Amino acid sequence: VRDKNGTDQVLLKNPKGASVKISLHGGQVLSWKTDKGDELLFTSAKANSKPPHPVRGGIPICFPQFGTRGSLEQHGFARNKMWLVEENPPYLPSFYSTDKAFVDLVLKPSDEDTTRIWPHSFEFHLRVSLALDGNLALISRVRNINSKPFSFSIAYHTYFSISDISEVRVEGLETLDYLDNLFDKERFTEQGDALTFESEIDRVYLNSRDVVAVFDHEKKRTFLIKKEGLPDVVVWNPWDKKAKALTDLGDEEYKHMLCVDGAAIEKPITLKPGEEWTGKLNLSLVLST
Ligand code: BG6
């Protein structure tokens, strides 16, 4: 399919009717729907979908830099670039299964712009898959095809669609250390039981366990974020003031979104020539009665 700007998108469907939409612009997942047609990811009504601008919502990929921790543009360039569909994807034995609809995308530094600002030869392979049970998985493989090592950070900046920010809680981050972007990236330790929200939050939780849960009482649903190779978890909500300052987010929309990202930020990943790194994110939905 194509969007109104002519950008190619891929639509995955499972036999039960669940679906996932991925844009080649940024390799960004833009929609994840249940078999009942309920959208699980937030996208702003004011989102700008004109490349190179990433869409405010879905799952933009921050790579090879997270935020302003480096000399590149905020969150790196991967979310602004056009990715390609891989015609002959490699066989991935442990990820392959016949009950999944999937697409393989690849990002290679093709333009001078990218190589000038980040002079490394790499290939970023992304498999997005939708399972029969509706689970959405993103599997990334980053390969160094250069003769010198390089390091990178990565985050799947997942915008979950929620009923109301004051009604949700996040579990799985208790007692962890975190870096607080609102306090100059200073390190703190989480004291509370579960995270609830009453003001702006912008943190990187360090070395979290492999499953983090977002409970939405009002909608009676829970998102489970399972991750491998992604030790950190970003939690972001701009709240009212910051939302007003973001031109591609409505003033009140912050209430209906929460970003919880599987990420590798604090300790960047270093790849020697020929080495490959794999990171997996699996998102699932649990409904309660
Ligand atoms: C968060 C950052 O992860 O992403 C915030 O920590 C930033 O500081 C937010 O504002 C959104 O970034 P962007 O570039 O998509 O507006």
Q: Of residues 113 and 76, which shows the higher confidence score?
A: 76
Using an 8 Å Cβ cutoff, are 59 and 154 in contact?
A: no
**Angstrom distance (rounded) from CA 256 to CA 38:** 14
Q: Of residues 164 and 100, which shows the higher confidence score?
A: 164
- ipTM here: 0.98
Least confident of 38-42, 47-51, 227-231, 244-248: 47-51
Taking the centre of ligand 1 as the mean of its atom positions, its distance from the CA of residue 65, in whole angstroms, is: 12
Taking the centre of ligand 1 as the mean of its atom positions, its distance from the CA of residue 40, in whole angstroms, is: 20
Choose which residue among 69, 80, 157, 182 to substitute to test ligand 1 binding: the one with the highest number of ligand atoms within 8 A of its C-beta.
157
204 Cα nearest atom in ligand 1: 6
Domains parsed from the chain with CATH numbers: 9-287 (2.70.98.10)
Q: What is the pLDDT of residue 96?
A: 56
Q: What is the pLDDT of residue 97?
A: 62
Quickly state the pLDDT bin for 93 (edges 50, 70, 90): low
| pTM for the whole structure | 0.96
pLDDT in tens, 171-228: 999 999 999 999 999 999 999 899 999 999 999 999 999 999 999 999 999 999 999 9
Taking the centre of ligand 1 as the mean of its atom positions, its distance from the CA of residue 249, in whole angstroms, is: 12
Site residues for ligand 1, CB cut-off 6 Å:
67, 74-75, 181, 202, 234, 236
Mean pLDDT value of segment 253-282:
98
pLDDT in tens, 109-120: 877 778 888 999
Res. 99: pLDDT tops 80:
no
60 Cα nearest atom in ligand 1: 15
Res. 75: pLDDT tops 90:
yes
**Angstrom distance (rounded) from CA 225 to CA 246:** 27
Res. 95: pLDDT tops 70:
no
Per DSSP, the residues of the chain read -B-TT--BEEEEE-TTS-EEEEETBTTEEEEEE-TT--B-B-B-TT---STTSPPSBSBPEE-S--TTSSSSSTT-SGGGSBPEE-SSPPP-TTT--TTEEEEEEEE---SHHHHHHS---EEEEEEEEEETT--EEEEEEEEE-SSS-EEEEEEE--EEE-S-GGGEEEES-TT-EEEEGGGTTEEEE--SSSB--SS-EEEEE-S--SEEEEEETTTTEEEEEEEES--EEEEEE-HHHHHHH-TTS-TTGGGGEEEEEEEEEEEEEEE-TT-EEEEEEEEEEEE--
Q: What is the pLDDT of residue 2?
A: 86
Choose which residue among 202, 205, 246, 258 to substitute to test ligand 1 binding: the one with the highest number of ligand atoms within 8 A of its C-beta.
202
79 Cα nearest atom in ligand 1: 15
Q: What six digits make up the tokens of 187?
A: 């390190």
**Angstrom distance (rounded) from CA 232 to CA 116:** 29
**Angstrom distance (rounded) from CA 178 to CA 205:** 4
Taking the centre of ligand 1 as the mean of its atom positions, its distance from the CA of residue 95, in whole angstroms, is: 30
Mean pLDDT value of segment 255-274:
98
